[in-house]
Amino acid sequence: MLRLDAFRRKVDVPAATVFIMAALAGVGIASAISSILDREPPTAFERATVLTPEVPQGGVLDIQYTVVQSRICASTVERYVTDSNGDVHVPATYTVDRHPLIDAYPPEGRETYQRSVTIPLAASLGRAYYDARFTYICNILQKLAYPIEVLAPRVYFEIVPAPAPLEPLTPEP
């Protein structure tokens, strides 16, 4: 008990409180500055290869991506198919699952995967392209103000006629 009293007499409580508050403020400011400066995309696209260069209306476009992933963050993706008339089609949010093509651990975070996208029946015949925009949220400021956006490489392909006639599944009365 005697030692604790001696310690209290030597420590200036208001000065210690100010020191602790300043340290906490410094940590908060450092965290905010770090969040502001954090603009490095977590994924960098190296290559996109079309595996099915000709896709029938209603068919599946297969794309193989090679990416380098430096970290994992929450993300969303917006996907668009633009046909030969310039009409933009939004494919279904979920198409075919991701298929990694990794035999062992990828070097430096490198990964190759395949994405399959269903081409709408309403898409016009001719040259078309597929775009994907990824939005990453890696910290609280990016969630509140400005997320990181990454565009996947644009891929071109041909839309060819569907193998079967384009008729409604249910007959009209």
State pLDDT tens for residues 24-78.
Answer: 888 878 777 777 778 899 999 999 999 999 999 999 999 999 999 888 888 889 9
Closest CA to 73 of 173, 168, 156, 140: 140
Residue 63 contacts by C-beta under 8 Å, 6 or more apart in sequence?
48, 49, 50, 51, 114, 115, 116, 117, 130, 155
Q: Where are the domains of the chain?
A: 2-37, 43-160
Percent helix, strand, coil in the chain, to 5, is 25, 40, 35
- Paired sense of beta strands 54-56 and 155-160, if any: parallel
Average pLDDT, the chain: 82
Integer angstrom CA distances of residue 33 from 17, 26, 36, 124: 24, 11, 5, 49
State pLDDT tens for residues 2-22.
Answer: 565 665 666 666 777 888 888
- Paired sense of beta strands 155-160 and 126-137, if any: antiparallel
- CATH architecture assignment, domain 43-160: Sandwich (2.60)
